[in-house]
Structure 1
């Protein structure tokens, strides 16, 4: 990805990819090869693709190339409230007294378990180790849930609560639960080490679930405005510190310019680094927009024209009093 962006001069794309995907803290969350001893639980690529598919076909099916601010508004007002209401179904306090709905993962797991439990066993004898949840038949690696018919049929039919609580661990044993009882009468040691692999992330980090909206309800407009104002306050605080830094830097430059002979090396270094060049270009582009009224024919700059792309970045969203 770095070579792809470097060869095409896509600095902004690589900046986004690094901060959101490829930096060490983010890379470990989605790539499977980063932890050779762990087996990932999520089909990360499929989950991301499914989200974008739903966003494009359910929310943006009436829009062609929507603006960024409109897209953010639709995600905040339509997508997130629906997701929160859907996740509320799996909360422990949702509809007390009724059976809890299975998550999509556990529903598919239960279907696969029931299917494997009905398959006939052959005459070949394999080594089934329930302590590590492995089998020598070699079919586990082809199963989404790391199951095989020998492992499933080596335990008694589990209680229905097992399918509501099952969590696949990333290290052996992949499944460890008190409701898994071997048919041979032996006892299985239930692994309860409190690791993230057990799925008890909230217990480890001390996180508390955020209150969700009622099912079928939409986020209030006041809540959306509150989030926007909080974001604006944070943005203003950041720019306030940046403004003081820029003013201090300009004061230093003015002082050095008044003594060009003594500050020759310093001024040469500033010129080589193009210090203030981006700020000057932004001021020139905004001044041109305000004085001449030059507007863009399209929202985004034309491909291949660096000057047009830079003008677009410097003037998009600027407030003209």
Structure 2
């Protein structure tokens, strides 16, 4: 549905994005993930026809974004980071206006507006002025205007920025409900949005794509670099050097210490190669040294660990 090849945008001597490649299958949600300033918004603006690329091509539903811009615009719904709303219009009036300018046939406008209102759960707000809505409801109206003409592709740029936790969950569920019927690119730097919403992830850093894969596959790249969390009672100083001698344990980090009566309880993280499975030796050492082992659990990398690992790499990695 969406094909991006060798896309670059140069401003003077500064490259906002360089040689960006990715694709999105029909009905899929792709998380476009990167730190602030990585090039996410520039890419979204090129795909929406807002700005031209310097080099490269982008196609949506088979139409070239640059050469066939109007055909592309008929087939996309776009929600920029700041929703393009008219605050003095009612929700219903605004969506009717958007449906008209997006070319929805006059006989279909009422049904399309009603559909978008229902999908975005705006039924009780349809007669309310947009300026009176909360931030979360304004985001819903922004999504409603993006889908009112039933486009096959939807581009959402930071749709949950500034929302409270409840609003984030509501918008996240709304986006997930649109999958299958629509192909969605979700641009964000908020990691939970990606792991809980998206089928695949493209990570961009400093204008370059550094990885494209499913969240699970990306996390599996770091499965050998997990570790253990331990809660240990007693004098850890004498045991710390012994722990690093266990095969697979690479680092001991005492995260916190709490004094209890005449002793101390330490929260410890051990970085370990889990392909070696050193857990039994770790527990045996702690107990044999006379310390109290209150708790021990294995930790595995999260998408945040993958993200931080990838954006600190100097060169892109392959998704093969």
TM-score, normalized by the shorter chain, greater than 0.5 = no
Structure with more helix by fraction: 1
Which structure is larger by alpha-carbon Rg, 1 or 2?
1
Q: Which has the higher strand share?
A: 2
